[in-house]
Structure formats: structure tokens, C-alpha cells
């Protein structure tokens, strides 16, 4: 079975460092402009998702949410979360580290697309 969101080894190592500093974490990607188009990492207890947000899966034990409109736009692609040098979202926990989480995508194969489980609440 294929996952809707995966992380590179570099992203997983950064997640573990941030978890040591900040406790339980979560990710949100709205798909909007500016910081919203990047994966943003927050302390889990400090970010409230809405009922319309979609839980894609987990990376490094952290839930990864996207807005419903972002999901509808990119439902046929797998998100691959990586880390790049530079600054990302100002509110994302990795900002002071001099790196930023970055999302790449790839299209699912026909076989992967057929095997994806449905997202609860979405037709």
C-alpha cells in the first residue's frame, strides 16, 4: 500500500530534533499563497484544524493535514516532504534552524491510485 504523504531521511531527522525541543508535533499545508503553500510544522496542542481539513497520514509519527481545497487539487499525487537550506514559513518551528520543510509531488501509478483508501468524509 502506498502512503499519501512520506518524508525523506533528512525531514525525519529534523522532525525528531524538533520533537525533542517542542514535544508532539503536527503539520499543516493549506495550499494557499506564501507560507500556506509550504508544509508548516507546529506544536500539536497549539494548532487547531477545522472539520474541512484532510488528514493525509503521518510523517515521523506526526499527523499531516492539508486543506480540503488543496487535497482536491492534488489528490492524484503523493506528497514527499524534504528539507532544504533557507527560510520557510515564519511560524513553522524549523524557521530558526536555517532550513525549511519543502513539499514535492509525484503522480501515483494506476495501480497505486486504485489501492488508495478513501479519505473519510470525502466522496
Number of structural domains (the chain) is 1
For residue 48, give the C-alpha cell. Answer: 487547531
Q: Is residue 122 part of a domain?
A: no
**Residues found in the chain:** 123
| CA-based nearest residue to 63, from 92, 95, 93, 25 | 25
Domain hosting 95: range is 5-110
Q: Is residue 16 part of a domain?
A: yes
Q: Is residue 22 part of a domain?
A: yes
User: For the domain that residue 31 is a member of, what is the CATH number?
Assistant: 2.60.300.12
- Per-residue pLDDT of the chain in tens (123 residues, 90 and over written 9): 899 999 999 999 999 999 999 999 999 997 665 544 789 999 999 999 999 999 999 999 999 999 998 898 889 999 999 999 987 666 899 988 889 999 999 999 999 999 998 887 775
Amino acid at each position: 500500500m502506498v502512503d499519501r504523504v512520506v518524508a525523506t531521511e533528512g525531514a525525519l531527522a529534523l522532525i525528531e530534533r524538533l520533537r525533542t525541543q517542542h514535544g508532539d508535533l503536527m503539520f499543516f499545508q493549506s495550499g494557499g499563497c506564501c507560507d500556506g503553500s509550504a508544509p508548516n510544522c507546529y506544536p500539536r496542542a497549539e494548532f487547531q484544524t477545522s472539520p474541512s481539513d484532510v488528514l493525509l497520514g503521518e510523517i515521523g509519527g506526526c499527523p499531516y493535514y492539508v486543506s480540503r481545497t488543496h487535497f482536491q487539487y492534488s489528490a492524484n499525487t503523493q506528497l514527499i516532504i524534504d528539507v532544504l537550506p533557507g527560510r520557510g514559513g515564519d511560524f513553522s518551528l524549523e524557521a530558526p534552524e536555517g532550513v525549511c520543510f519543502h513539499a514535492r509531488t509525484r503522480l501515483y501509478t494506476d495501480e497505486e491510485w486504485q489501492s488508495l483508501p478513501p479519505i473519510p468524509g470525502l466522496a
